[in-house]
Amino acid sequence: MRYSRLLIIMMSALITANLQAGLYRWVDENGTVHYGDKVPAKYLKQEHDELNEHGTTVKKHDRAMTAEERAEKKRLEAERKRIENEKRAQALRDRVLTDTYTTERDLIAARDARLDAIDSQLQLSKDIIESSTQKVERTEKVIENIRASGKMVPEATYAKLEREKLQLATQQGVQQGHQIKREEVIVQFEGYIERFRELMAEKQKKREAYAKRKAERERAERGLSTIAE
């Protein structure tokens, strides 16, 4: 009897020592659950749990991922961060939009002012292009007349024509740039106005929801007052 009791005490002490030293739980390829103070090397890359002295899981070790799984996890994390960054950027743009413009009319006025400024630049480019075109035509006429008289056209005249053509091409490029900018401003403000309407609609919904909750609360308070009386 004493021997059995001593054996039980020794086994309990041994189990407690093992638990304090660290106990692990893992499952083999046949689905059998195993416990031990050390996970066999062949199961280290598989899912296993670390237990405390009470047998409670204190840490889970997930199965080692394959290269494809790691790549997919990395891709998903990058996508999550991209979405979060876009949400923060959109929130900032929304705040700037509502802080800058009070009404839709303000947006339209700002758009029209930008377009008027660009139109002024377009008109200036148009005037310069017309002037440059006339210079080119005059110089080409001079060259044509010199050739018709049988004389040699001076190199300086050819150089002058090339400079005038270059100036004309430059101004045509400037004009095209202004036109592209004008179209960009129109598209940009169309987006601003659409988003502004969405934000104002959301704000209106919140105001209506708040007013509804307030009215319900006031009705409930009046009802309680009536009961109390």
Which structural domain, as residue segments, surrounds residue 22? Answer: 2-61
Last residue of a domain, one of 48, 79, 100: 100
Distances (CA, A) of 171 to 135, 147, 179, 197: 13, 29, 12, 39
Mean pLDDT calculated for residue range 214-220? 85
> How many folded domains does the chain comprise?
3
Q: Phi, psi at residue 6, to the nearest 5°? A: -65, -40
Q: Can you give the pLDDT at residue 47?
A: 80
Residues 203, 170 within the same domain: yes
Confidence of residue 12 (pLDDT cuts 50, 70, 90): low
Residues 71, 54 within the same domain: no
Yes or no: say if 26 and 48 are a contact pair by the CB < 8 Å rule.
Answer: yes
Q: Look at residue 229 and tell me if it is in a domain.
A: no
The winner for highest mean pLDDT among 36-40, 135-139, 221-225 is 135-139
Residues 181, 161 within the same domain: yes
Residues 55, 157 within the same domain: no
Residues 20, 114 within the same domain: no
Residues 43, 96 within the same domain: no
Last residue of a domain, one of 76, 100, 124: 100
Distance, CA of 129 to CA of 147 (rounded, Å):
27
**Residue 2: pLDDT above 50?**
yes
**Structure confidence by residue, pLDDT tens digits, 56-93:** 888 887 777 778 878 888 999 999 999 999 999 999 99
**Residue 54: pLDDT above 60?**
yes
**Structure confidence by residue, pLDDT tens digits, 103-158:** 999 999 999 999 999 999 999 999 999 999 999 999 999 999 999 999 999 999 99
Residues 75, 110 within the same domain: no
Residues 131, 207 within the same domain: yes
pTM tops 0.85? no
Residues 158, 191 within the same domain: yes
Asked which of 22-31, 70-79, 144-153, 206-215 is least confident by mean pLDDT, the reply is 22-31
Q: Look at residue 126 and tell me if it is in a domain.
A: yes
Residues 13, 72 within the same domain: no
**In sequence order, what E strands does the chain have?**
23-27, 33-36, 48-51, 57-61
Asked which of 3-12, 47-56, 104-113, 174-183 is least confident by mean pLDDT, the reply is 3-12
